[in-house]
């Protein structure tokens, strides 16, 4: 399963201090979903050696390590550090973030400094090895050769590859040209699914050469309360099997600040209809139904046919 941005700093930390470390996670019980259980999020913060609470309006995020166990207890297994806030407290803060997650049995993935073998983490499933390729495309822009080299490595160690990527324009509901360029580039080099984050809103969904692109899942846990768009998010449940599918689970934190919960049936339908209207027209009915086939009905490669 995949979520978008997770912030445990600033006002989220204040709420956790007041209401308990598990406060942001109380709205959704991930154990209700039948899955062999990877839960991935983008950890939009650092955990520096000396924690100082992030003041309102500040953009240098510091997380109290005492609150990290609650994320593990909620079900998170992997946090991406390939984003533009991991280095808020420099290399020492980055190393402490990495080690603190490891100490709490959450696997850190991705490299905020650029593409490397550290960008690739293997998820073992019953049927195959899945490479989670976590990259950041805001502060460092890789060359086509660097993308090709990374994907050659990912392809060599796995059966399926998923790009989990930090990119795009903040607060814009559709992708930009750079996102489209890199989506095409990674797909040309073997990626089987693209899941994006950073814009703080849910962006459109597209299929490029048979491959699904979720440009942004939005804020899963955050403290941006000014609009509905920044308090709505999409959780993806990937079902691997003979016919691979993706379930769309819309969530909202409008009822409880920074505490996402599944939308009511009425709001669920309204949200998916809106998402469908700004997405690839060929996906409209699938998005409204809340389930998409992972690949096109006509497999575009031998590899896709093998995955299905």
Q: Which of 236, 237, 230 is nearest to 198 (CA)?
A: 230
Mean pLDDT of 100-107: 98
Name the domain count of the chain.
1
Query: Cβ(51)–Cβ(89) under 8 Å?
Result: no
pLDDT of residue 36: 60
Q: Is the pLDDT of residue 144 over 80?
A: yes
Residue 35 — pLDDT band, cuts 50, 70, 90? low
Domain containing 44 — which CATH number?
Answer: 3.60.21.10
**What distance separates the 2 farthest-apart alpha carbons in the chain?**
54
Phi, psi dihedral angles at 181 (to 5 degrees): -60, -50
CA separation, residue 29 to residues 32, 56, 261 (Å): 6, 29, 9
* Range(s) of the domain holding residue 298: 2-307
- Over residues 193-245, the pLDDT tens digits come to 999 999 999 999 999 999 999 999 999 999 999 999 999 999 999 998 778 99
- How many alpha carbons lie under 13 Å from residue 63 in its C-beta half-sphere? 28
The residues, ordered by sequence, that sit 6+ positions from 10 with a Cβ below 8 Å of its Cβ are 53, 54, 55, 56, 58, 61, 223
At residue 121's C-alpha, the angle toward residues 90 and 60, to 5°, is: 25
For the chain, what is the mean pLDDT?
Answer: 94
What predicted TM-score, i.e. pTM, was given to this entire model? 0.95
Is the C-alpha dihedral spanning 93, 80, 78, 126 positive or negative?
negative
| List of residues 6+ apart from 105 with CB closer than 8 A | 72
DSSP 119: G
pLDDT band for position 24 (cuts 50, 70, 90): very high
Q: Compute the average pLDDT of residues 108-128.
A: 94
CA 121/CA 86 separation, integer angstroms = 18
Quote the DSSP letter at residue 208: E
In this prediction, residues 145-156 reach a mean pLDDT of: 98
> Poorest-confidence range of 143-152, 213-222, 272-281, 288-297?
288-297
Structure-token pair, residue 214: 């979720």
């Amino acid at each position: 399963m995949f979520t978008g941005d997770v912030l445990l700093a600033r006002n989220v930390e204040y709420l956790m201090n007041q209401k308990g470390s598990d406060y942001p996670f109380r709205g959704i019980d991930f154990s209700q979903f039948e899955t062999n259980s990877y839960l991935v999020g983008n950890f939009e913060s650092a955990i520096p050696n000396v924690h100082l609470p992030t003041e309102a309006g500040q953009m240098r995020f510091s997380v109290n390590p005492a609150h990290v166990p609650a994320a593990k207890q909620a079900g998170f297994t992997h946090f991406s550090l390939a984003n533009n806030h991991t280095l808020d407290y420099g290399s020492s803060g980055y190393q402490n973030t990495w080690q603190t997650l490891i100490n709490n049995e959450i696997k850190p993935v991705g490299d905020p400094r650029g593409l490397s073998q550290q960008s690739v983490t293997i998820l073992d499933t019953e049927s195959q090895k899945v490479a989670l390729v976590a990259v950041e495309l805001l502060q460092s822009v890789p060359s086509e050769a660097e993308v090709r080299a990374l994907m050659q490595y990912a392809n060599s160690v796995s059966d399926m590859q998923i790009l989990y990527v930090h990119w795009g324009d903040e607060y814009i509901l559709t992708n930009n040209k750079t996102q489209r360029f890199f989506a095409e580039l990674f797909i040309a080099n073997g990626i089987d699914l693209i899941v994006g984050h950073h814009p703080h809103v849910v962006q459109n969904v597209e299929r490029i050469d048979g491959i699904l692109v979720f440009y942004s899942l939005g804020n899963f846990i955050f403290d941006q309360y000014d609009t509905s768009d920044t308090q709505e998010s999409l959780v993806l449940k990937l079902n691997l099997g003979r016919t691979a599918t993706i379930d769309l689970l819309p969530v909202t934190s409008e009822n409880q600040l920074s505490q996402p919960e599944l939308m009511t049936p009425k709001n669920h339908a309204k949200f998916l209809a809106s998402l469908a209207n700004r997405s690839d027209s060929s996906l409209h009915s699938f998005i409204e139904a809340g389930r998409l086939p992972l690949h096109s009905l006509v497999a575009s490669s031998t590899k896709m046919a093998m995955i299905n």
